Structures are given as structure tokens and as C-alpha cells.
Amino acid sequence: MRRYLKKHIIAAVLVFCIVDGVILFLMRSPNPDSAAEGMLPRLIMIVILGVLLPWLGLFKTAGLQKKGLWNSLLLGLPLIIVSLLVLLGSLRNRGNFLGLPTVLIYSLNMLIVGIHEELLVRGFVLNAMLKRWQSSRSGVIGSVVFSSGIFGLLHLTNLASASVADTLAQVIYSIFIGVFFASIFVRTRNIYGLAFLHAFVDWCFYFVVTCFQTSSSSAKSDPLIIILVSLVFFATGLLYLRRSKLPMYSTAEDGE
């Protein structure tokens, strides 16, 4: 079975993403603003990924290394700055503070979200696609865009707790931000920095609505503005992938 899955690795990772999405959808908390929302199913999927990656021969290239950590954070610095600005803006609408335990649980949950989604989409899906198509720069860019599309579609699970319009907006800007994350993975091959960056962004965006008695509608940002900002990061991600910044392709033809 393992030999068959390795031979059809792209199909295997796509099926796993569907299973992952279904599990998250079915196990969502009835309270979407809970500090621990989705923690248990994500932990389960992280454990499963920890088994699948070495079993399918993807562990060594999944970015589980110290090398490239600081470079990944440096490349992600623009998004860190924007996230801090969003946090400062949302604090104007805060209500009563729900307490330090809520903040600690929320922070742990956001870290788990970052680890789960980066390990799944960049460490598993993008990693598998690069293993198949990284011989050409066009293959790399195609892998980045395709895996980011999957990243965006995974957010359809939020239909369980959000409106169709809000969910579709999140799918769109997740695709754009996904290209930014994926480009950093290609440049650094480090998943730790991406997991932290992802967790930090989510922490900033949802801190007020989760850790204060504040209605979701008063604290959330305008989806259109987020899409426009994420479009800038989409372009930045493509800029990170320019040929001169990919030394493994700078001395060879694309091979197309």
C-alpha cells in the first residue's frame, strides 16, 4: 500500500486534505469564539501527519529543521507588522477582559492551528508537489499556487459557524496569504518559522473577539480590506519566487 501511495502521492495528499477538512467540520465547537475551538481534532491530525510524513518518504523535506528559521521570520516580517496594526486597531472595540486562563488557552490553540495548517499544507501538500515538480521553476510556482488553493478551500469548514459571504472572503484571502507562506517555505525549507508566523497572525486577528466580551461583528475587520491587503502579500510571495532568489534553478534551464 505504501508503494502505491508513494506512486500516487499527489492524489494521496489531496484525499488526506479532504479527510482533514471533514474531520474539522464534524468536530467543530458549537461556540466558534471559544478559546479552545478546534483544538482536539487539530491535535489528532498533527499526530497522524507525524506518522504519514516519514511513512511516505516526505519527512526529510518537510522543513522540520533549524536551518532557515530566522530567514523565514525575516521574510515574514511584513505580515507580522500588518498583523500588529490589525491587533492595535481591534483593541479599540474590546469589551471586558475574560482573564489570563482564556488568553493562555487561546494562545496554545493558535499555536496548534499554526502547526497543523503549516504541517498539512506546506510540509505535506506543497512538499509532495515540489518533490514531483520542482525540476522546473514553472513547476515550483504551479505547486505554490495549487497548494495555496487547497489551503484556501480548507477554510470552507468555517461554513459551520460563519456566513457564506464571510467564508468565501476567507477562502479568497487565505489563497493569497497561502502563496506568501508557500513562497517562504520554498525559499527557506523551514516549517517552524512558518508555524510561528501563522500562529502569530491568527493570534492578532482573533485575540479581541476571543479574549474579551466583544461581539464578532464589532471586532472583525472588513473582508474586502483584508482581501486587498492579502493581494499585496500574494504579489510579494511571487516576488520572493523570482529566479534570482531560487539558487537551485539559477544555473540551469527550466527544463520545460
pLDDT, tens only, 115-133 = 999 999 999 999 999 998 8
pLDDT tens for 174-183 read 999 999 999 9
Whole-number Å distance between alpha carbons of 233 and 117? 18
3-state secondary structure 18-52: HHHHHHHHHCCCCCCCCCCCCHHHHHHHHHHHHHH
pLDDT over 80 at 254, yes or no: no
pLDDT tens for 11-32 read 989 999 999 988 988 887 767 6
Whole-number Å distance between alpha carbons of 25 and 41? 9
The band of 85, judged by pLDDT with boundaries at 50, 70 and 90, is very high
Quote the distance between the C-alpha of residue 43 and its chain's center.
Answer: 15
Rg (alpha carbons) of the chain, rounded to whole number:
18
pTM across the whole model: 0.90
Longest dimension (CA), the chain: 59
